[in-house]
Structure 1
Amino acid sequence: MTTYHQRVAREKRALIVTAATALFLELGYDRTSLARIAERSGVSRATLFKQFPSKAALFDAIVTESWATAGEEDPPPAGNIVDGLSTIGRRYAELLSRPQMTDLFRIVIAELPRFPELANAQFSHGKMPYFESVRGYLLAEHEAGTVRVEDVELAATQFLGMISNYVFWPTLLVPGWKVSAERVAQVVDEAVHTIAARYAVPGPGPSTHDRSADRD
């Protein structure tokens, strides 16, 4: 494909994903047909079926693309747990603040009783790969000796949970819930320092001889 045709294909794909997300929210997953999605997005049925042969494939793409943008960035280098977690925490808070993330969870929660496979897609294609990237970073810090973490899965859950429990989950339950940028930064900082206080390996402090000399 030429660069032009690649760009057009990406634009049409974005239109399809946007239309599908809106229709899933309006009508529910079951009542939304691919034909209706094609009509709403303004593309032909042939174009839609070429990119997404089934509604399940389209939903998988929505999940993957919603989570992937943050996961595509390189993980911070190991060596400074505060700097590294600060970078990850800011990325995570930004990801959770996107409207499409809230929409995605609403679709999954609403359709869970009839379509449990949507929750499986959300977990396996979205949340789990992102979680593994955070787990991998903590494991790298552990191997570098900057932290001592016996259970990196638990530590990753603790860190991400401290952020999502304030920044994200209330948006699903409290109408008009908004968190200022300053408050988000504070939430991330507190999560970072809580994890650092729990797991960071203390650096070398002054020796007994040095402390005695200071007193003299």
Structure 2
Amino acid sequence: MSGAVPTYHQRVAKEKRALIVAAATALFLELGYDRTSLARIAESSGVSRATLFKQFPSKAALFDAIVTESWSTADEEDPPPAGNVVDGLGIIGRRYAQLLGRAQMTDLFRIVIAELPRFPELAHAQFARGKMPYFESVRSYLLAEHEAGTVRVEDADLAATQFLGMISNYVFWPTLLVPGWEVSAERVAQVVDEAVRTIAARYAVHGPGA
């Protein structure tokens, strides 16, 4: 039952899992994926090796958990209802900007970029388990708006890419490349609003949200 209160053991397991993921992320950033052993992660997180191996039998499984939790808000919130593309994209855009502003998201991309030459499977995991499911949720929303008659979108993949790209290119990617790059909350809101207006100007039809 989804509404059941977690037992003591479930709460402890969840807390230990969070400690393991945090320790692994820090060590992957400091030492690199290859040089970080599960034993070292167990020591750093303060759990036994048996506890770690029970939850994560391999580094690949642990990295998958980092990806999943970094993109977790994509699964926790329902998409806005179709009917007003301006309001709907505004909600999606604010959620996306907030997601990209999380420290664990920046850490995830730094790990993937640093290890890409030797471990391309990490990039595949990041794309397949994180980026792509989130992208698909935006694409599905645009298709729902198309069906509702608020937009005319012939290429939903392109439209979703355009919208997300306008936001990430300003609020996220510079954080990986420009030391000290920071974007105020007011500026983030402006970036999202402009992205919404641009997509609406390109795709909205007369009616709700146009």
The one of 45, 56, 64 aligned to 2:49: 45
The equivalent residue for 2:120 is 116
1:63-78 pair list within 5 angstroms: 63-78=67-82
**Mapped pair 1:185 → 2:189:** yes
Give 2:136's aligned amino acid: E
Unmatched segments (≥5 aa) in structure 1: 205-216
Shift of 1:69: 2.2
The one of 101, 105, 111 aligned to 2:109: 105
**Number of residue pairs the alignment of both structures matches:** 204
- Secondary structure of the 1:160 match is helix
Misfit runs of 4+, over 4 Å: none
**Mapped pair 1:59 → 2:63:** yes
| Residues in 1 aligned to 2:126 and 2:162: alpha-carbon distance in whole angstroms | 20
> What is the TM-score of this pair, normalised by structure 2?
0.95
The equivalent residue for 2:163 is 159
> What is the TM-score of this pair, normalised by structure 1?
0.93
| Residues in 1 aligned to 2:80 and 2:70: alpha-carbon distance in whole angstroms | 21
- Secondary structure of the 2:62 match is helix
**Mapped pair 1:24 → 2:28:** yes
* Residues 24-49 of structure 1, C-alpha deviations (whole Å, 9 max, x = no match): 00000000000000000000000000
Unmatched segments (≥5 aa) in structure 2: none
| Residues in 1 aligned to 2:128 and 2:76: alpha-carbon distance in whole angstroms | 16
Q: Which has the higher contact order (CA 8 A, sep 6+)?
A: 2
The equivalent residue for 1:207 is none
Give 2:120's aligned amino acid: P
Shift of 1:70: 3.3
**Mapped pair 1:93 → 2:97:** yes
The equivalent residue for 2:148 is 144
Measured on the aligned residues, the alpha-carbon RMSD in Å equals 1.2
| Residues in 1 aligned to 2:122 and 2:56: alpha-carbon distance in whole angstroms | 16
Check the 8 A contact 1:71/1:133 in 2, yes or no: no
* Residues 120-154 of structure 1, C-alpha deviations (whole Å, 9 max, x = no match): 00000000000000000000000000000000000
| Residues in 1 aligned to 2:46 and 2:170: alpha-carbon distance in whole angstroms | 38
Give 2:17's aligned amino acid: R
| Residues in 2 aligned to 1:130 and 1:2: alpha-carbon distance in whole angstroms | 28
